[in-house]
Chains A and B, each alone.
Chain A
Amino acid sequence: MKTKKVRYAVLMISGVILLTVVFFINIVTGSVNIPIKDVFSAFGSSEKTVYDSIITDIRLPRALAALSGGAALAVSGILLQIFFSNPIVEPYVLGISSGASLFTGMVLLVGYRFGLVALNTWGMFAGAFVGALIISFIVVIASQYIKNITTLLIIGMMFGYVCSAAISIMTSFADKERLASFVIWTMGSFSGFRWDQVRLMYIIIIPLLIFAFLLSKQLNVMLLGEDYARSMGIAIKPFRALIIGVSSLLCAAVTAFAGPISFIGLAVPHIVRLMFGTSNNRIIIPASCMYGAVMSGLCDLAARILLPPYELPLGAMTSVIGAPILVFLLLHDKGRGAKL
């Protein structure tokens, strides 16, 4: 018991330190490297430097978006893994991210054609949420009839493909000037985040993360499956709706502005469970927030600085960094099983 608590504390503190470090690295590194003292002067100090606008207009919103996005996707992954009592689901795998992308794409492209020149931040989010919810509900309804999780995953993937196809069809009609940025967006990217988008992300994500944490007792009971959860006093139907609602909102808040991002929702919860050696959600949810933010921040950094001046797709980074870590942890798990 004691050693376990020490382990939790050490890993939590390391998480906070890592998060802070990653945040600052994200701000100082890039095509222009900024001395750390100038970072501080950008906030509040009266004497303005040349770096001010790089920091406040570009890097800070981007870093903040990347960090919150990672946390949101990780928690969304945890919720879905518990919902389906399956360790290999996440918003991307189930096609929920693709659904969100499709609807955001529709808002972006169709809206533009009908003269919506100024992109409405709320509109994008609403589109993403509707898309995420529609696919979630389809997958949930399918899961009532199909108990075989593999079949369910295939259904999710198929919806993902259909959404992707629809998106690529839409790109044919897209305005040429906007096409490039739209294509980058469909591959997942935190670039070009505006402050109003960041603000909306935080307004949605922070309360939901806290809310998910408050559900950790019920989520722990759900680890044993629905029948047991019900026998221990959980009202299953509203709780299921709640889990799907929260995970869809979290996924939508990220996807609306950063596009579909794979792997974080899958890898981070596993990595955190194995690191902490527990499935207790009271530990796993806050820890996944931190480490999800760290991983997403690192991936975004890598996407920016690996092959300058090119910006690499974020999805490629999350997979390249996340997959080996996951495989390593699974192999060194000593048969304890990474299943939920």
Chain B
Amino acid sequence: MSGGVVLKTDSLSVGYKDKTVLRDIFLTVEKGRMICLLGPNGAGKSTVLHTLARLIEPIGGRIEMEGRELASISVGELAKKISVVLTGNNLPGLTTVRELVAIGRSPYTGFFGRLTEKDEELIDKSLHSVGAYDLRDRYCSELSDGEKQKIMIARALVQQPHLILLDEPTSHLDVSRKVEVMRILNRLAAENGIAVVMSMHDIDLAVKCSDYIVLIKNGSVKAAGTPEEIIKPGVIDELYDLKGAGYDEQTGAVELAGGSSRDLFVFGRAGTATAVMRAAARLGFGVGFGAAESYDIDAHTAKAVCIDHFIHEHGGESFESLYEKTADAAIGYRLAVDSGFPMSDGDGLMKAVREAEKRGLRVIGRQEYSSIEELIKKIKSQ
């Protein structure tokens, strides 16, 4: 093993027969690292994983596994180095969890597949490490999707691989199962030193759980690097062609953008306006926002959702002029709402609200509605 590099690709092109799906992949997978392939459906993430697992042959370029050409390694030997968890867990019927995980030992067992004591221990250990030991005597067909995913990871684990390749390991799972699966993978990488390469849809989880991200789109690798290097403003919007929505790189949230006509201006700060802006955008209203500090959650939401937003940048223009602009912009809207922001005596933002009202803007006060639902009704009726 050269310097902990498990797998390395050099100008790799992948695809099927006469169709190249993705070209020029340079990837270095180190021991104990989590690498995530991110990109829209059909970008070729799955094809890359299948190629790395040698389930399909590469179209061009090189793949090296621990310093040796992948194609030169026999399937039997490779099974002890790389294991896979694929999509579509169509597990065999009438097979218990333990029997299924035991199948993962087959690269090591003898001709008849008889399990030694060491094999049994490893099976128990990997069931424990994915938290599925209690399921061991259940039939696979009785399990939930999340449980199935966990035992497929346990099965991959008993192959004692240096590298696990997972195709969409979190799709079809609910949020808590997703987090659980990612935690398991994180731990395997950190504690067992297994390298993990996976494809994912969840931008948010990918950013938080992986060491390295590869962005794939339109047949090529758009960017690769640590999450911090990769996830810059607009990158994700462009990657997924997010239309009518925006991705906030810092909060990891996808926000639906509002309409384009100036319908509702939301006065707020300190997180009071976010729910109102989201609700209005969801209904297709064009939304405006003012005014908050750049680190305010409302500022993040507003950037993704609003037509106009007034946000105070540190070292930028003064609050006075920002509030003035807020009031000026607000009167261009059909309606405004006070989101009930916290304030001090002589608050500048409150002054802006009053100013806008004076200039003829209808502002729905915080005391006029008790829930977002009620507010929405009010907005619709006006």
Contact = CB atoms under 8 A, between A and B. Distances in A.
Interface string B99-117: 1100110110101110000
A231 B82 contact: yes
Interface in B99-149: 99-100, 103-104, 106-107, 109, 111-113, 137, 139, 141-142
Contacts of A1: 137
By size class, the interface of chain A is 20 to 34
Interface stretch (A59-67, A147-155, A157-165, A219-227): A219-227
Interface string B73-114: 001111110111010001111111001100110110101110
A233 B93 contact: no
B93 A220 contact: no
A280 B104 contact: no
Contact of B53 (A220, A231, A234, A338): A231
B339 interface: no
Is the contact region of chain B dominated by helix, strand, or loop, or is it mixed? loop
Nearest to A273: B94
B202 to A, nearest CB: 23
A231 B95 contact: no
Nearest to A277: B94
Contact of A221 (B54, B80, B103, B111): B103
B359 to A, nearest CB: 66
A217 B100 CA distance: 12
Contacts of B142: 335-336
Interface residues of B, number: 36
A230 B78 CA distance: 10
A337 interface: yes
Given A220-B103, A280-B99, A335-B141, A233 B75 contact: yes
Contacts of A234: 75
Contacts of B83: 231-232
B78 A339 contact: no
A282 B113 contact: yes
A232 B113 contact: no
Contacts of A273: 93-94
Contact of A233 (B53, B92, B106): B106
Interface in A206-252: 214, 216-218, 220-221, 223-225, 227-228, 230-235
Given A273-B94, A278-B99, A337-B141, A231 B84 contact: yes
A274 B142 CA distance: 15
B92 A223 contact: yes
A211 to B, nearest CB: 12
Interface of A: 1, 85, 87, 214, 216-218, 220-221, 223-225, 227-228, 230-235, 273-274, 277-280, 282, 335-340
Given A217-B113, A231-B79, A279-B94, 6 more contacts: A1-B137, A217-B106, A217-B109, A218-B106, A233-B107, A336-B94
